[in-house]
A and B are shown apart, each in its own frame.
Chain A
Amino acid sequence: MSMVLIAIATLLTIAMIGAAWVTIRAKKVATAMLAAGLVSLFASVMFLFLAAPDVAMTEAAIGSGLTTFLFFFVLGRVRGGSDD
């Protein structure tokens, strides 16, 4: 049981660091924003494993959902600006 948990946590860690890498290295800003949302989503699963369901719920609803949408709202408004 514990081994399975540690294996899942390691997988999550790899996924989060990979998504964070995409965030700072992506060519397009939109990709970076989606990857940042993905980091938040994986973090919310990690919170669930850390026995914090309240925080997991908040992170999934706010950190992953609303923040990404706010980013895309603003990105839609500044289209045509110097993209990199």
Chain B
Amino acid sequence: MIRNFAVFLLLLGLGAIFLHLLDGYVPASELNQTARYYAEHTAQDLGAANIVTAIIVTYRGLDTLGEVTVLFLASTIIGMVLAQGSKRQRALQRKLPASGELLTTGSRLLVPLILLFGAYVFVNGHLTPGGGFQGGAIIASAALLVLLTDPLKRFSHKLIALVESISGLVFVGVGVLGMLLAGGFLDNRILPTGEFGALFSAGAIPLIYSFVGLKVGAEFTSMLTNLAETEKS
């Protein structure tokens, strides 16, 4: 009872603060200085059409490196916490009812297409909405479809780890190359910026974002796989 009352008081206070914020909110009519800089300089300096991608991959590339590191840590911790449970129950795999004809055939048809779509999304990240994170999630959803069709399917952990570490290494390697050949860490101008709006443009952004996509896809897949492997008899 007292607990509920305290929760109520806390929410009331928070609500009052939010109401005050909402009341005093004046929408900006002009871009602030940072946004203005990005809007003016992205096209000439980096050659990327999607400014959000330019910010994520180049202007704040170090943030993205930290982000994929956090994701890597999360998937590693999940694997570590769940590892013990799966070893014990390996022998007791029950026979599951076969998944339906529709699901089996449909997944056989759709999985390559989903993988292709994921690759399309992250390769075109600098031109259209989308990019490594979205493409990685789409790739992980292909793995999810495979797991739905056959819950006892086991993906090779070695393969996932290999894809993950190679893309991580390439990401950092391209960043260091940027330091040697261009302006600084993760600078995209180590490759020619090319024609604005073409697929092979914006320097190293498509390259970096593709490897971010592979890394994120591998991390999400490893999370899903680790959770799926807790399947008990």
Q: Interface residues, chain A, CB within 8 Å of chain B?
A: 53-54, 56-58, 61-62, 65-66, 69-70, 73-74, 77
Contacts and interface: CB of A to CB of B under 8 A. Distances in A.
Nearest to B125: A54
Given A66-B220, A74-B227, A54 B129 contact: yes
3 shortest interchain CB distances as A-B pairs: A53-B129, A61-B137, A73-B227
Contacts of B223: 70
Main DSSP-derived SS at the A contact region: helix
7 contacts: A54-B50, A54-B52, A54-B134, A69-B224, A70-B224, A73-B224, A77-B231
Nearest to B216: A62
Interface residues of B, number: 22
Contact of B137 (A53, A54, A58): A58
Contact of A70 (B131, B227, B231): B227
Nearest to A55: B52
Interface of B: 50, 52-53, 121, 129-131, 133-134, 137-138, 140-141, 144, 220, 223-224, 227-228, 230-232
B141 A58 contact: no
